[in-house]
Amino acid sequence: MRKVSTGFVYFFGALGGLLFGYDTGVISGAILFIQKQMNLGSWQQGWVVSAVLLGAILGAAIIGPSSDRFGRRNLLLLSAIIFLVGALGSAFSPEFWTLIVSRIILGMAVGAASALIPTYLAELAPADKRGTVSSLFQLMVMTGILLAYITNYSFSGMYTGWRWMLGFAAIPAALLFIGGLVLPESPRFLVKSGHMAEAREVLDTMNKHDQAAVDKEVAQIEESAKIVSGGWKELFSKMVRPSLTIGFGLAIFQQVMGCNTVLYYAPTIFTDVGFGVSAALLAHIGIGIFNVIVTAVAVTIMDKVDRKKMLIIGAVGMAISLFVMSLGMKFSGGSQTAAIISVIALTIYIAFFSATWGPVMWVMIGEVFPLNIRGLGNSFASVINWTANMIVSLTFPSLLDFFGTGSLFIGYGVLCLVSIWFVQKKVFETRNRSLEDIEATLRAKAGEDASSLSAAQK
């Protein structure tokens, strides 16, 4: 392992999240110019926006599981190349279909990053820092979204500004590839592939040369690594079922609470309650800044507060905010006070999401799956998350027309309350527990013994 600091490893390990956030957020401004220059109809506009989400489903499904075979770092480097190709292809697209293909390619990198990075960071970080380190991914996502908002505003006065908006992502993609060349491989993957000395070297760096901690972690990883890599049968086995339920449930609830509809359509919401277009775009940047600040706060407390408690508090806060926002929107047409209340409620909603469900979902899906199917499990949860994202994003405009802003957000608020039941009944706590301890608990609950299972599989 090349001598690099833990800060360098964590920063570049999470940098794919910035591209994730940028490439999903930038289209909200770029589409305003693309539709005019390419003379796109509403159906075509919808595909330009949603192509990244379709690509993300493919990327999470194809590239994510491959990390169990080829390594987390190698696939992260591949994702950086795909990011670069997709960004440049989008920027130089001469017509609609080339743009769609480029956006799907870009989405594959986004999906791959969502499946790879939480696993990679979770496997690198010591147990008492894993929540903080893993939540850096969400901080990078929010930072990427903020950069997208700023870039949209900066290039909005140029005729070809949308090309600069989409192409700007090539810069962090190149940085991710360069930084990725000196990143270490996951110690869990190294042990599985027989590179014990290199794994110890990585763990020594990440544990600040604490030999006792390194020895303990190596012993635990070796025990887990004895179990051969699994596939779909193991993913749906009795032992993994609690983890699968958590991954499936958190991935869906994070989307059906309405988070992306608020983030993507905030300018529309602002104009609906009486703001001008320019003021709405500036307010969007303000929300982006607020998002980053709140997520940064969440990173600092991630290993001090139980994951379940954060999820429940977040769901309650979001539900109340959505109910207040809905009420304000019903009366915003004739009341400036009601419009202001709606905006304040929307801002509070985003604060609760960014501090809880935003980062905690990604942290937990990187923690709960056993080593022999961790890549596949994380990929499965990511595919579910992106599929839910796509469905919610595609149906939001139609639902908005049918129900109106006031009534629609009440529905999202009700789903926030339903998520509280799910967290209380189906989610187990992972804070301050090693990945191997979590896996041992799953095996104990399923009545399995790791060594006997290994012997049976061999």
Q: Which residues contact 73 (CB under 8 A, 6 or more apart)?
A: 120, 180, 183, 184, 185, 186
Classify residue 126: in a domain, yes or no.
yes
Classify residue 87: in a domain, yes or no.
yes
When divided into structural domains, the chain yields a total of 1
Residue type, 266: A
- Cα–Cα distance between 388 and 184 in angstroms, integer? 33
Classify residue 192: in a domain, yes or no.
no
The two structure tokens encoding residue 125: 């970080």
Classify residue 211: in a domain, yes or no.
no
Q: Which residues contact 429 (CB under 8 A, 6 or more apart)?
A: 306, 307, 308
Classify residue 203: in a domain, yes or no.
no
Residue 276 phi, psi dihedral angles, 5° rounding: -75, 165
- CATH assignment of the domain containing 431: 1.20.1250.20
Quote the radius of gyration of the chain (alpha carbons, Å): 22
Give the structural domain span for 79. Answer: 6-184+227-457
Classify residue 219: in a domain, yes or no.
no
Report pLDDT for 199: 84
Classify residue 74: in a domain, yes or no.
yes
Report pLDDT for 398: 75
CB burial of residue 435 (10 Å; 0-12, 13-18, 19+): buried
Classify residue 200: in a domain, yes or no.
no
Residues 281-285: contacts with CB under 8 Å, at least 24 apart: 281/29, 281/149, 281/152, 281/153, 281/156, 282/153, 283/343, 284/28, 284/149, 285/146, 285/149, 285/150, 285/153
Report pLDDT for 3: 65
Q: Which residues of the chain have pLDDT under 70?
A: 1-4, 42, 64, 225, 227-230, 262-278, 280-281, 332-335, 397, 405-406, 448-458
Query: What per-residue string of b and e applies to 81-105 under the rule 16 or more CB within 10 Å gives b?
Result: ebbbbbbbbbbebeebeebbbbbbb
Chain centroid, CA 264 distance in Å: 15
